[in-house]
């Protein structure tokens, strides 16, 4: 069936919040183009103006301008494949869709584009993947808080973590994480936050947004021996770090296109 593809003009600091809000409002898929633009896929019968306006209200921003085009099924497949170029992370990790062949010697994480956000293309996701690739050596307990597509949890399992828990408020994200973990032949325990055990974790990662990370500081700082936070702009880094410093020594560990990774240890 035909699809309606939107290209949304939005400031960088609001892009991630708007992407989540678009999915909540009914978009079938949301992704970041290589150029940095935000794109969304709608069923043809959906009201684009109402959906974008509702998402903007939920994200707390003015309703953005957008362009639209109609895509046939095969055009959507080509568009999704075009925005799913494989990603090399550090010396060990490869992230890409199932129709690509990873280089010899790389640990492969396979995530196809589809009705869930999170293929590794956004800088905030790349930052956490890099942290996991540098940090994990096998046998760790890992928590991915706000798992989305499950890409970070799956990468942790592929890198040798002994147990990986993944939590998200969105039931569809949990189902997507379970399906992607099964496709990658790894075990990931995906559950809502209220089902999380009281255990500590060797590594906790969270790629969300600055304000939710501040709210979550008491929970995440208490659980983590090592912590990595992303979804944070450089201008927001100090405020987020301050929320965690009572328990962890937080520093900017990496940067990518204006986004930062905050890392800390007990």
Segment 186-201 shows an average pLDDT of 93
Asked whether the predicted pLDDT for residue 194 surpasses 50, the reply is yes
Asked whether the predicted pLDDT for residue 115 surpasses 50, the reply is no
Q: DSSP character for 216?
A: T
Asked whether the predicted pLDDT for residue 209 surpasses 70, the reply is yes
Contact 110, 184 (CB under 8 A): yes
In this prediction, residue 73 carries a pLDDT of 58
In this prediction, residue 1 carries a pLDDT of 60
Asked whether the predicted pLDDT for residue 253 surpasses 60, the reply is yes
Residue 244: phi, psi to the nearest 5?
Answer: -105, -10
In this prediction, residue 33 carries a pLDDT of 63
pLDDT band at 255 (very low <50, low <70, confident <90, very high): very high
Query: Could you give the 3-state DSSP secondary structure of residue 152?
Result: helix
Residue 167: phi, psi to the nearest 5?
Answer: -125, 150
In this prediction, residue 148 carries a pLDDT of 87
DSSP 13-70: HHHHHHHHHHHHHT-SEEEE-TTS-EEEEEETTS-HHHHHHHHHHHHTSPPPPEEEEE
Superfamily name with CATH number, domain 117-265: Vaccinia Virus protein VP39 (3.40.50.150)
- 117-265 shares the fold of 3-82: no
Q: Where are the domains of the chain?
A: 3-82, 117-265
Task: Determine the Cα–Cα distance for residues 82 and 230; give it in Å rounded to an integer.
Answer: 25
pLDDT band at 29 (very low <50, low <70, confident <90, very high): confident
Predicted confidence (pLDDT) per residue in 216-247, tens digit? 999 999 999 999 999 898 989 999 999 999 99
Task: Determine the Cα–Cα distance for residues 93 and 88; give it in Å rounded to an integer.
Answer: 6
Asked whether the predicted pLDDT for residue 82 surpasses 90, the reply is no
Residue tagged 């939920």 (tokens) = 58
Look at 214 and 59; give whichever has higher pLDDT: 214
**In the β-sheet with 87-89, what is the strand arrangement from edge to edge?**
87-89, 93-96, 107-110
For the chain, give the mean pLDDT: 88
Predicted confidence (pLDDT) per residue in 131-177, tens digit? 999 999 999 999 999 998 899 999 999 999 999 999 998 888 899 89
Predicted confidence (pLDDT) per residue in 33-71, tens digit? 655 578 888 888 899 999 999 999 988 889 999 999 887
CA 80 to chain centre: 17
Superfamily name with CATH number, domain 3-82: Sun protein; domain 3 (3.30.70.1170)
pLDDT band at 21 (very low <50, low <70, confident <90, very high): confident
Asked whether the predicted pLDDT for residue 116 surpasses 70, the reply is no
């Amino acid at each position: 069936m035909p699809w309606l593809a939107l290209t949304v003009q939005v400031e960088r600091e609001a892009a991630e919040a708007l992407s989540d809000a678009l999915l909540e409002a009914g978009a079938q898929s949301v992704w970041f183009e290589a150029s940095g633009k935000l794109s969304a896929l709608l069923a043809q019968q959906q009201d684009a103006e109402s959906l974008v306006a509702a998402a903007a209200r939920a994200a707390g921003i003015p309703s953005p301008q957008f362009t639209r085009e109609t895509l046939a099924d095969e055009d959507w497949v080509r568009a999704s494949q075009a925005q799913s170029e494989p990603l090399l992370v550090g010396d060990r990790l490869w992230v890409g869709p199932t129709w690509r062949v990873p280089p010899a010697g790389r640990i492969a994480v396979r995530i196809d584009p589809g009705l869930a956000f999170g293929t590794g293309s956004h800088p905030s996701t790349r930052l956490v993947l890099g942290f996991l690739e540098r940090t994990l050596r096998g046998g760790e307990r890992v928590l991915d808080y706000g798992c989305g597509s499950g890409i970070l949890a799956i990468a942790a399992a592929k890198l040798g973590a002994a147990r990986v828990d993944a939590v998200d408020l969105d039931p569809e994200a949990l189902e997507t994480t379970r399906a992607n973990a099964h496709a990658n032949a790894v075990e990931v325990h995906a559950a809502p936050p209220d089902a999380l055990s009281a255990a500590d974790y060797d590594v906790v990662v969270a790629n969300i947004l600055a304000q939710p990370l501040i709210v979550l500081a008491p929970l995440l700082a208490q659980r983590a021996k090592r912590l990595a936070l992303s979804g944070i702009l450089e201008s927001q880094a100090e405020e987020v770090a301050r929320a965690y410093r009572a328990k962890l020594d937080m520093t900017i560990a990496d940067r990518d296109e204006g986004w930062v990774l905050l890392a800390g240890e007990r």
